[in-house]
Amino acid sequence: MTASRIGFIGLGNVGGSLAGNLQKHGVDLTVRDLNDELVARFVARGAKRADSPRAMAEQVDIIITCLPSPAATASVMEGPDGILAGLSAGKIWLEMSTTDEAEVKRLAPLVEARGATAMDCPVSGGCHRAATGNIAIFAGGTRAAFERVLPVLSILGCQILHTGPLGSASVLKVMTNYLCTVHLVALAEALTTMKVVGMDMNTVYEAIRISSGNSFVHETESQVILNGSRDISFTMDLVIKDVGLFDQVAREHHVPLELSPLVLGIFRDGARRYGPRELSPNIIRRLEDACQVRVLGSGFPAQMTDDNPKQPGYEVVPRGRSQAPA
């Protein structure tokens, strides 16, 4: 399967990193994006260009979408020259966007009606890990489909979890993004309070890192916060979308959440103040402005990079099981 022709639509921050990792591994790659400059960079390195989603689907064996919203995916899939029009028996559609479970399930029968297979395969771990292939991937779909695409997923990522039926991966992905956002808001409060108290911010960073207060979000996003760039290649509108999807899942199942609505309100206020395309770690600006401080350290990177070599991709089997769900 790794020798298959692969098409990739959506060359933004995450998608571009994933597609770039495929290209580094010599995959027969065809790309498409509304931004022709992004496409041109891949073409200059040997990728092929697709004139439309339909043309791409006709030309490749596996087509991957990594797009900013469920509406964008629907447009690419169902448009007059969309992916569905080009699918045929034996082909596979991998939805790697952070999307709505219901939307994946709505589109899947349309894919299957063409004799193709649908899976939702969102990623988690940040653009820096997507670029090296050390990112985590959730994969929802049948066991048979998962085993067919595992060689490709092993190029794209390091830890690969088969989550169960189609749609399950999307649910888990929005849950993890919700948790990231809660951690980010809590870190903004903790870092700003320590700044106002007068603590050295480099010492604060290390105190959190070596303590029970540590998290993946701290080890990544706190660094770009303290650098001042605030650049984690993720924006407030995407946070609102993702946390909104998680909140929707909870409401549909009558779970009386308390933190999720608060977090959504904080980021909606941040987007009103600083713009929806403001970098998400700059949610700390709400507190910096209120306290008239700048929360900065020294020696922290402007962007996160993964200095580790590509780790071999492998399936993560849930604890207590000999194999992931069918």
Instruction: Give the active site residues.
Output: 173
- The length of the chain, given as a count of residues: 326
Token readout for 315 is 């399936």
What gap in Å lies between CA 23 and CA 21, rounded to an integer? 5
Among candidates 95, 103, 72, which has minimal Cα distance to 245?
103
Strands (E) across the chain are located at: 5-9, 28-32, 48-49, 62-65, 92-95, 117-120, 123-124, 135-140, 157-164, 314-316
CA distances 198 to 87, 189, 240, 296, Å, are 60, 14, 32, 12
CA distances 188 to 182, 266, 316, Å, are 10, 12, 32
Token readout for 42 is 């891949």
CA distances 242 to 141, 175, 177, 202, 234, Å, are 21, 9, 7, 31, 11
Backbone dihedral region for residue 196 (phi beyond 0: left; psi -120 to 50: alpha; all else: beta): alpha
Token readout for 313 is 């991709």
Interacting residues of 163 by C-beta distance below 8 A, sequence separation 6+: 138, 139, 140, 169, 172, 324, 325
CB 286 within 8 A of CB 242: no
How far is C-alpha 257 from the geometric centre of its chain's CA atoms? 24
β-pairing verdict for 123-124 and 135-140: antiparallel
